Structure 1
Amino acid sequence: MNTFVIFIVIILIAAILQTSTGFGFSIMATPFLLLLFQPKEAIQINLVLSLVISLSLILKIRKDIDFGIVKRFMVGSIPGLPVGILVFTLFNMDLLKISVSITIILLTFLLIMKFRIQQTKKRDLVAGGLSGALTTSIGMPGPPLLLYFSGTDTRKEKLRATTLAFYLFIYFVSLLIQSLVAGTSVTVWKWGLLAMPAVGIGLFLGQVLFQKISQSMFRVFTYVLLFFTGIYLLFESL
């Protein structure tokens, strides 16, 4: 019972975060799910529920999607996915996470100091490639996209919609690779079904929160999440 309650609270908070910002489910849920499940099961539960959230929202937010950017993210992620698997296989995971965490913290600090970049087609491809590589290496596709969109001062509606649309692709491919290479289990789908009521409530509350927060507050929220991600990865690896 205690495990179930903890699980539902984790999923509810993560679903609210994902719905209101377009990112953050894996950032919030994965560290805590790893305390309750085996790594493979935690990652697959995260992938399944992230897909459900993206599918549930995509029709409602489709008008805000920049399909050109989504397409370039997808193209860029294709070579990034096998690179991530190669890195996962050959490199020390703790060293990789430390490197990623320090990079995220430093880049977030630059964003707070008003560092900005111009959005281009080539940079879209690079952001997609980095996201794909981080998906298959450490299971976190969000940070490269969040850093990129924050650096280009993207409005919150476009950021959320475009990111969620890309997640439909990247999470589906990742779940397929996970299932084929590592297999899946009844535990993943049982707990995935048990999470659906919490996901539904999180979708509703997240939509309400999204309507309430301003663009400036949204930007502050993204910086907090990025710092949390960097600090979590750093401490987990030390």
Structure 2
Amino acid sequence: MLTTGLVLGAVVMGAGMQRVTGMGFALVAAPFLVLLLGPVEGVVLVNVCGAVTAGAIIFRVVRDIDWKQYLALAASALAGIVPAAILIRYLPPPVLEISIGVILAIGLTVLLVMKSAVLPRRRRYLFAAGGLSGFMNTAAGVGGPAVSMYSIATRWQHKSFAATMQPYFFTIGSFSLLSKAITAPASFPVLPMTMWLAVAAACLAGLVLGDLAAKRVSARAAQILLIILAYLGAAATIVRGVLDAMG
């Protein structure tokens, strides 16, 4: 019951952050779901919930979506999804846990450091961000840091960026699930129907809470909270991987 409650709590928190900041689900929920369910099943659940959450938000922000940027990012992300789906079949769980935690920590740190950098909006940077995002989304359930680095470095207007991320995360989440269904069907978590329904309800609850919070919490405050939670979750995931490797 405790594990179930923590899983649902992580989903609610992630969905709420996704609504407030535009891309918070995986950064917040992934470390805790990986910690509670394991590196493979936890990431799959992140992909499922991330796609559902982004799909639900699309209709609220459709007017602000930059469809040209979306198409370029989504196309390049597909190149990173397939090799990552193959990789998860061969790496042992402790290695995956440690890798996921390290990737999260590095991605977050680079985000903070790159706030003062400025890059021109060139296609090669956009394609590189999309490819890295697709790889990380499939391997670690975290596709946001790479595209966030691009948006920060190119000064992409936040409202447009947050809106464009919703069809993007829906697309890469769906393709990540499809690639895993083909290459590693055993990676899908075996959960009772009641648990799946509870997870779906948690996603909706998080979106409702996020709607309320978006009216009261500044984007800056939400981003600071997101970074703190993600760092703590990344550290916990690394510790679990080390303990599993030692045991």
Which TM-score band applies after superposition, normalised by the shorter structure?
0.7 to 0.9
RMSD: 3.0
User: Identity of counterpart residues, as a percentage?
Assistant: 22
CA distance in 2, matches of 1:219, 1:38: 26
- Asked whether 1:120 is paired with 2:92, we answer no
1:62-112 Cα offsets, whole Å, 9 max, x none, are 111111111000111122223434555678657855774564355234334
Asked whether the 8 Å contact 1:101–1:231 carries over to 2, the reply is: no
**Conserved? CA contact 1:132–1:141, under 8 Å:** yes
Alignment partner of 1:165 out of 143, 167, 171: 167
Name structure 2 gaps, 5 residues minimum.
243-247
For the 8 Å contact 2:3–2:36, the answer to whether it is kept is yes
The residue that corresponds to 1:197 in the other structure is 201
Match for residue 215 of structure 2? 211
Secondary structure of the 1:153 match is coil
Q: CA deviation at 1:207?
A: 1.9
Tell whether 2:72 aligns with 1:72. Answer: yes
Residue of structure 2 equivalent to 1:10: 10
By how many angstroms is 1:129 displaced? 0.6
Is the Cα–Cα contact under 8 Å of residues 74 and 170 in structure 1 kept in the other structure? yes
For residues 16-46 of structure 1, give each alpha carbon's deviation from its aligned partner in whole angstroms, at most 9, with x where no partner exists: 1112112222222222223432443322222
8 Å CA contact 1:72–1:124 kept in 2: the answer is: yes
TM-score, normalisation: structure 2: 0.79
Match of 2:245 in 1: none
SS in 1 for 2:142: coil
The Cα offsets for residues 199-232 of structure 1, whole Å up to 9 and x where unpaired, read as 2221112122233344555665676577667766
Pairwise CA distance, 1:170? 0.3
Aligned partner of residue 215 in structure 2, secondary structure: helix
Residues 104 and 227 of structure 1 are in contact (CA less than 8 Å); yes or no, is this contact kept in structure 2?
no
TM-score by length of 1: 0.82
Question: Relative to structure 1, is the Cα distance of residues 208 and 137 closer, same or farther in structure 2, using a 3 angstrom cutoff?
Answer: same
Gaps in structure 1 of 5+ consecutive residues: none
User: Helix, strand or coil: the match of 1:212?
Assistant: coil
Partner Cα distance (1:137, 1:93) in 2: 8
CA–CA distance in 2 between the matches of 1:6 and 1:222? 17
> In the aligned structure 2, how far is the partner of 1:48 from the partner of 1:152?
30
Query: Is the CA contact (8 Å cut-off) linking 1:116 and 1:151 kept in structure 2?
Result: yes
Partner of 2:181: 179
Counterpart residue number, 2:136? 134
Q: Quick check: 1:111 aligned with 2:108?
A: no
Amino acid at match of 1:121: R
What does 1:40-55 align with in structure 2 at a 5 Å threshold? 40-55=40-55
Deviating more after overlay: 72-81 vs 85-94: 85-94
